[in-house]
A and B are shown apart, each in its own frame.
Chain A
Amino acid sequence: MEYLLNIVPAVAAGLQVTLKIFIVTIILSLPLGILMALGRISKIMPLRKFMGAYIYVMRGTPLMLQILFIYYGLPFIIQGLRLPDFPAALIAFVFNYAAYFAEIFRGGIQSIDRGQYEGAKVLGMTYIQTMRRIVLPQVVKRVLPPVANETINLLKDTSLVYILAMNDILRITRSIVQRDFDTTAFIVAAVFYLFFTFILTKIFSYLEKRYAVYDE
């Protein structure tokens, strides 16, 4: 018990890195994903092709490779651009998750009946008004389950930042285990992850309930 009280604050110190990466990535990658989805289905062919290629690359290579590339590889391409570890990791996370979210939103947008666009158009709405007021609000309801999935994935993916020697929950935990030859710390880390997953699950089921006021 005394040992537990000792290591819990130590593991909790890693929360800062884990949560910062998680929160900033969610805040930036969701809107970016919506924009990318719109680009992916745009009438402008080069934009559509570019987004397709971008999503292919981001989904087709490991996130860890992308983190390493931005941290170590970018300075060779853009001379002298060596980012500190946190922004480098963050850029990789945001651009990677935006690609996944883009595909979720694309599916959601394309599942909306054409009649909705036509109904909006004959009322005089522009493309932007139609998207903002008619289509996207309905998309949100449909994509909540897959977005919840990705969000929970992200929480756990944050542990990849250990590769840049950033002290997130899991890296600290590992060093404690190696130092003390005691695996209790792993269980502490698991409890932390489960706690935040629990909160996320609650938030998403609240949102789903709120959107359940209407049927389609």
Chain B
Amino acid sequence: MSFVEMDHIRKNFGSLEVLKDVSLHMDAGEVVSIIGPSGSGKSTFLRCLCQLETIDKGSITVDGDAMVSQPAGDGRSVYASPSHVRAICRRMGMCFQHFNLFPHMTVLDNILEAPRIVKGMKTNEIMPTAEALLKKVGLWDKRDEYPSRLSGGQQQRVAIARALAMNPDIMLFDEPTSALDPELTGEVLRTIKQLADEDMTMIIVTHEMAFAREVADRILFMADGIVQEEGTPDQIFEHPQNERTQNFLKSMLRF
């Protein structure tokens, strides 16, 4: 059994079919990168895993624990109880394209907030972790600043530290560098690479082809709501079989 099993996920926004039977199995420690054109459903797929979207059909199991299951027949998928779903989601950390830091809290409080109110930890219990994480992302000296005083790259690194403070088993990245100035992407990508080197399980939705190729164990190419092609970085980038993949990569590497 794989660590994360997402099977036959279907999702509609009104009459628009965003996900048409998408599946992903991944093992602990694996890094999967999802690439594809805008509107291909890759972000939606990631958001389904951490409950920011609900799925219409399919099943999701994390570490053997069913979050959503698909009943026999043609019905909609059935979610576990809200508290159970929340418990499963607590094993995931998520980073967004626009960081979503809490602007009214300092960098340090952004890190401390969830461990304090969700896990009920005392400030002095979580402080060593917070300090270690902020040092890891190189922002310990910015701990008393408000997020708006930081660059985009710094904000995203704080967001990564904030997610890690909840001690997740799997990290999800939804286009973590898409909102950044080009010269700031490197610092964020290096931080994510460092997590990969520490065997963190990760799913990364990204437009950074070179990065996906370097950091991922496996690449999913999505378009039109389905996985068009899946394989190792070498297979996808050197020998793409699917015509859609070939065209997409050609357009990405045009310059």
Q: Which residues of A contact B (CB under 8 A)?
A: 113, 115-116, 118-126, 129, 133-134, 137-138, 141, 213-216
A215 touches B101 (CB 8 A): no
A-B contact pairs, 12 of them (CB 8 A): A119-B100, A119-B101, A119-B102, A123-B114, A123-B166, A126-B86, A133-B113, A138-B104, A214-B103, A215-B103, A216-B103, A216-B148
Contact A214 B148 (CB under 8 A): yes
B93 at the A interface (CB under 8 A): yes
Closest CB-CB distance, A168 to chain B, in whole Å? 39
Residue of A nearest to B145 (CB): A214
Quote the shortest CB–CB distance from B216 to chain A (angstroms): 22
Instruction: Assess the A123–B148 pair: CB atoms within 8 A.
Output: no
Contact yes or no, B100 A214, CB < 8 A: no
**Which residue of chain B has its CB nearest to the CB of A141?**
B104
Residue pair B52, A121 in contact (C-beta under 8 Å) = yes
- 8 Å CB contacts to A: which residues of B73-132? 86, 89-90, 92-94, 96, 98-104, 113-114, 117-119
CB of B51 within 8 A of chain A? yes
Total interface residues on B, CB under 8 Å, equals: 30
Contacts of A120 in B (CB 8 A): 102
A-B contact count (CB 8 A): 64
User: Which of B96, B117, B119, B146 contacts A215, CB < 8 Å?
Assistant: B146
Chain A positions within 8 Å of B118 at CB level: 123-125, 129
Q: In the complex, are the beta carbons of B52 and A118 less than 8 A apart?
A: yes
Instruction: State how many angstroms separate the Cβ of B158 from the closest Cβ of chain A.
Output: 12
Task: For the complex formed, measure the closest distance between the CB of B73 and the CB atoms of chain A, giving whole angstroms.
Answer: 28
Cβ contact within 8 Å between A134 and B102: yes
Taking CB atoms, residues of chain A closer than 8 Å to B90 are 124
Q: Are the C-beta atoms of A215 and B148 separated by less than 8 Å? A: yes
Chain A residues, Cβ within 8 Å of B50 = 122
Q: Quick check: is B68 within 8 A (CB to CB) of the other chain?
A: no
Minimal beta-carbon separation of B119 from chain A (angstroms): 8
Q: Does B218 contact A (CB under 8 A)?
A: no
A129: which of B96, B104, B117, B146 is its contact (CB, 8 Å)? B117
Q: How far is the CB of A120 from chain B (nearest CB, A)?
A: 8
Which chain B positions have C-beta within 8 A of A116?
100, 102
Chain B, residues 44-59, CB within 8 Å of chain A (1/0): the string is 0000001110000000
A97 and B162 CA atoms in complex are apart in Å by 40
- List the A side residues contacting B114 at CB < 8 Å: 123-125
